[in-house]
Amino acid sequence: MAISVDSPEDSENLRRSQGYTFPILSDAQEDVIRRWDLVHLHGRHDGADISRPAEFLIDPSGKVRWVNLTEDFVVRARPEEALAAFDAMNKSSHSE
């Protein structure tokens, strides 16, 4: 899932226009983004706050197993990075 500061309508429009099959949750009040310290102050073109790009891999127990944070809103983890982290998480969960 993804979380955005955009309105629910804007988030849904983005999801549809890009063909994403996962939900994009709206955090228009920035509650979750602030709780996870992901606010990029004045990061939007009009000076509004936006969320800092971040990817988290959370295991079924709720433990954060992998984090990718950047300062540039166009930079995201490469798919192979996320898949490698997922594979590592699965291997470590079988040995625990």
Residues 43 and 60 in one domain: no
Query: Is the pLDDT assigned to residue 91 strictly greater than 90?
Result: no
Q: Are residues 64 and 79 in the same domain?
A: yes
Q: Tell me: do 48 and 12 sit in the same domain.
A: yes
Is there a single domain that holds both residue 37 and residue 66? Answer: no
The structural domain count of the chain equals: 2
Cα–Cα distance between 37 and 92 in angstroms, integer? 27
pLDDT in tens, 31-69: 998 998 888 888 888 998 888 888 888 888 888 888 888
Let me know whether 2 and 33 are in one domain: yes
Domain limits for position 67? 55-96
Q: Please state the pTM of the whole predicted model.
A: 0.65
Task: Name the residue among 53, 39, 44 with its Cα closest to residue 82.
Answer: 53
Shared-domain flag, residues 2 and 36 = yes
CA 73-11-82 angle, to 5 degrees, is 50
